[in-house]
Amino acid sequence: MATVNGFKFKIIILLCSEFGSYVLGQYDEYGRTPYHQQNQYNQYNNNPYNNNPYNTPYNVPNPGDRDYRTYFYKGRRYGQQSNYYNNRWRPGDPRIQGQDEHFFYDPQGNEEPILPGILGAWRTDLQGKFRQQTKDKPRDIFVATTHGQVQGFLVYLFDNPDPDSLYRPGSEFIEREYGMTEVYLGIPYAEPPILEGRFKPPRWHKGWQLLQAVDFGPACPQPARYVGVTKGVRDMDEDCLYLNIYKPPTKESEVGQRFPIMFYIHGGDFIRGASNTFPAHIMATFYNVVVVTINYRLGALGFISTGDVNSPGNYGILDQAMALKWVYENADNFGGDRDSITLFGPGAGAASAGLLMVSPETKHIVSKVIAQSGSALADWTLIVDKYRAQNTSRVFGKLIGCSIESSWKLMNCLKQGRSFYEIGNSEFPPEVGLFPWAPVIEMNVTMPYYEGWNEKDWHFLRKTPEELLRKRQFNPNLKYMSGITLQEAASFITSNKSLEPNYIIDEQFFEQKIWELVLRYNYTLNLNGTFEAIKYMYTYWPDPTNKTHIRDKYVQMLSDFLYTAPNDKIVKILVEQGVDVYQYVLNTTIESFKLEEWRKVPHDIEHYLLSGAPFMDVEFFPDGKFKRDQWTNNDRNMSHFFMKAYTNFARYGDPTYTQILGLHFEKAKHGELKYLNLNTTYNSSIMWNFRQTESAFWSQYLPIVVGYLVPTYPPTTEYWWEPRAPLQIAFWSMSGACLLLVVLLVVCCMLWRNAKRQSDRYYNDVFMVPDTDTEEGIDNTRIANPYDYSEKIRTPVSVPARTNSASSFRTESAVSLKEMQGFMSSSPSEDYPRKGTPVLSHRQNKNKTQLMQGVPQTDV
């Protein structure tokens, strides 16, 4: 019996210990649920807010969800969500009486303030994995800027990118600290572009007293499918003009040292992306550079243009220009060298860097450019056709439900009647084009005037980048580096859901895509000829029906058209202008990704190598993206190579100032466009003239055959409100012609009247008298009664000869006033003539007419 009781006692003790360990295991040393056990925030959770939400686990809402909101704290905007929520405390909902979005609430109604970023608790996405040895280390740092004091924080790093280091994750029982980074997140460089600031250029921020830069600023509005915790973009709001700064710690011996500045512009085809997707801790700390990442307005909010005064466009690229100016002014405060600013980024970021390189407002700031898979001369980089810009706006207006009768009505609807979420989440149908939004060249329109904005704030580019490059309108010390990958356009296949899961492309699909390209890009002079030319260039003739080769050729076609040919064109122009140019072509992949052969080197695969992903905690990246020990030795080496080459170029203007793992670059020359063919760090080599035939096909041959490449996606013949222009032209032309006829008629009448007067003077230049020598005249004499008069026969008196005068009385003939004043008349009682009464003269002229009797003459 005692044995049985002892066994029961052991079972009870075991159950109690298991229960206690389970309960205690739910919370960390701060009484919170460990991060790995918390809800991982499903990306699209449109959970309606529950008035009694504490019975179910709380899923943090994503941008666009009903419960998602941001709040304002000490001068800037933060996202309400964080990674230390639990099932007890919930963020305040203003829709519930008594709650405030600045506080947490428990079921009993108790409240606690929401502190942003790292001020509330340890943020793994901002500080990395929590380690005991970093708990008591210094955290806060401060720096003074031209706009006010900024508070940042220190991040401690536990890996080393040095290839000679034998450290690997998990190889040591105790993790060792290798470096630390000064981080300043979410610094506003401009006033929030909200309310009256929507669809207007950015304005300088008014400043602050103390800004707590302890969390990323919200990303700019974009389609909801690109945001969320799993996408690395936690927050989104129209108030989004923020930048982030990563810099190496300032040592006492390096107080006067200035580091090169690397200005990162994220890609995303001008419709998506955010600054927080590029953590630059490793690059800044171990390669001694200051890295700046920025947000800028995207999609319609950043690039809609009506081609007139109602919306000139370019708001997103003007945001970039203002951020660049802010960095230029504050470079010294962060230990940066304002005379050594390098712009870099992929895709749209590379294209933007090329535009800022030649813009009159920023060209003096840009000393170096690294263009990753993008060019300022690509047709998707800059819209030069007014009708294309208007057509894009017209199609967007119809899509979002606004009137497109006039540009004013459309813009007024977008300003007053649509939220930023509605505008940002609206996406074009596929037939509109691959890159619908882009900066626009100034279309010779009058810039609008609004209070608080100057006319010069609206200007960006008045000429095309190619024209400016050929005229050397760039920094005299400019240096340029470009790179492309072997399979740039593979992402166009993987993003096509209809091709999943095998991504098979047959001949019919390939021909359909060629036709779409022909019709979309204005090949209208010879449709069939253009189609056959493209098909001929990109057919694998040894086996034309092989689906594997068809897929490869489709990837090559889009890669050449969108990336390779524009890059080749700008490189040749810069080489002609004497600029130092370096190139690379990436043929190798990230081995740990285990991608298929046909898409092993897609667009912007360098992103993870440049951000130092193989050396960072996985918590810095979207949840579940990586594992700490997944990276191979070749991945680590390639990551070191890219970071070292980029920072060498920023510092010296030469990516291989000294050899990196045995590799080096060579300058491109005229006729020998050399590039580094990157396979791995062991078998790369220098080659030249990459895909020249294919580049010439797009840059030289097709433009000559079909005209200028301008997208004219449907409706091609219904340009937005432009049919009014011919009617207006016809109306004013007819009105002007009629006015001219009226003027001519009036002039003719006046000339005829003057001619008639001259004729009267020549042919009727005397008074009309009878033919006889003696003729009775009529004498008007004054009498007592002013209403009676008497006529008396008198003898006419000769008068002096008449002279031409400017003014005259008019009877049947003209006679001057001066001549009439000298006339003498006879008095009934006097024999001498009396002055004062005009009489008719008597002259002999056979052309004289007979005077009619009874015409009275008035005394003057």
**Whole-number percent of the chain with pLDDT over 90:** 45
Evaluate whether residue 774 is within a structural domain: yes
**CA 216 – CA 275 distance, rounded (Å):** 8
CA distances from 753 to 81, 470, 760, 813 (A): 89, 64, 11, 16
pLDDT beyond 90 at 189: yes
pLDDT beyond 80 at 225: yes
Angle, alpha carbons 188-73-99 (nearest 5°): 145
pLDDT beyond 80 at 312: yes
> pLDDT tens, 437-462?
999 998 777 788 888 888 888 999 99
**Whole-number percent of the chain with pLDDT over 70:** 74
DSSP code at position 318? H
77 or 644: whose pLDDT is higher?
644
Q: Are 237 and 315 in contact (CB under 8 A)?
A: no
3-state secondary structure of 490: helix
User: Before 360, cis peptide (omega within 30)?
Assistant: no
The whole-number pLDDT of residue 277 equals: 92
Domain, as residue range, for 827? 764-860
pLDDT beyond 90 at 729: no
pLDDT beyond 70 at 242: yes
- Range 832-858 burial, b when 16+ CB lie within 10 A, else e: eeeeebbbbbbeeeeeeeebeeeeebe
Query: Please, where are the H alpha helices in 288-385?
Result: 299-303, 315-330, 348-358
**CA 453 – CA 440 distance, rounded (Å):** 20
> pLDDT tens, 39-82?
333 333 333 333 444 445 556 677 877 777 787 788 788 877 65
Evaluate whether residue 325 is within a structural domain: no
Dihedral of the alpha carbons of 638, 641, 646, 651, in degrees to the nearest 10: 170
> pLDDT tens, 791-813?
444 444 444 444 444 444 344 44
The residues that bridge with 814 in the sheet, in sequence order, are 810
Angle, alpha carbons 656-661-664 (nearest 5°): 30
50 or 333: whose pLDDT is higher?
333
Q: What is the pTM of this model?
A: 0.76
Query: Please, where are the H alpha helices in 443-541?
Result: 465-470, 490-494, 507-520, 527-537
The whole-number pLDDT of residue 675 equals: 95
Hey, which bits of 405-512 come out as E strands? 479-485
DSSP labels for 144-161?
Answer: EETTEEEEEEEEEE----
Q: Are 460 and 361 in contact (CB under 8 A)?
A: yes
The whole-number pLDDT of residue 169 equals: 75
Evaluate whether residue 742 is within a structural domain: no
Q: Are 647 and 655 in contact (CB under 8 A)?
A: no
The whole-number pLDDT of residue 646 equals: 96
Token pair, residue 823, equals 């006339």
**CA 656 – CA 594 distance, rounded (Å):** 29
pLDDT beyond 70 at 565: yes
pLDDT beyond 60 at 321: yes
Q: Residues for the chain: how many in total? A: 860
The mean of the pLDDT values for the chain is 79
pLDDT beyond 80 at 166: no
pLDDT beyond 50 at 304: yes
Report the domain count for the chain.
1
> pLDDT tens, 85-108?
455 666 776 667 666 676 767 666
Evaluate whether residue 675 is within a structural domain: no
Evaluate whether residue 852 is within a structural domain: yes
**CA 789 – CA 269 distance, rounded (Å):** 103
> pLDDT tens, 701-720?
887 777 655 555 544 434 44
Evaluate whether residue 213 is within a structural domain: no
User: Position of tokens 């990196």?
Assistant: 660
3-state secondary structure of 469: helix
pLDDT beyond 80 at 192: yes
- Residue 423 phi/psi, 5-degree rounding, is -70, -45
**Beta 777-781 vs 368-372: how paired, if at all?**
unpaired
**CA 368 – CA 371 distance, rounded (Å):** 10
Evaluate whether residue 503 is within a structural domain: no
Evaluate whether residue 796 is within a structural domain: yes
Give the range among 3-12, 227-236, 473-482 with minimum mean pLDDT.
3-12
The whole-number pLDDT of residue 337 equals: 93
Give CB contacts under 8 A, 24+ apart, made by 90-97.
90/53, 90/54, 90/58, 93/49, 93/67, 94/69, 95/49, 96/51
pLDDT beyond 90 at 434: no
**CA 318 – CA 313 distance, rounded (Å):** 9
pLDDT beyond 70 at 689: yes
The whole-number pLDDT of residue 325 equals: 96
**For residues 733-742, average pLDDT:** 90
10 Å Cβ neighbour count for 40?
15
The whole-number pLDDT of residue 605 equals: 93
- Give 842's pLDDT tier (boundaries 50, 70, 90): very low
510 or 45: whose pLDDT is higher?
510
3-state secondary structure of 745: helix
pLDDT beyond 70 at 634: yes
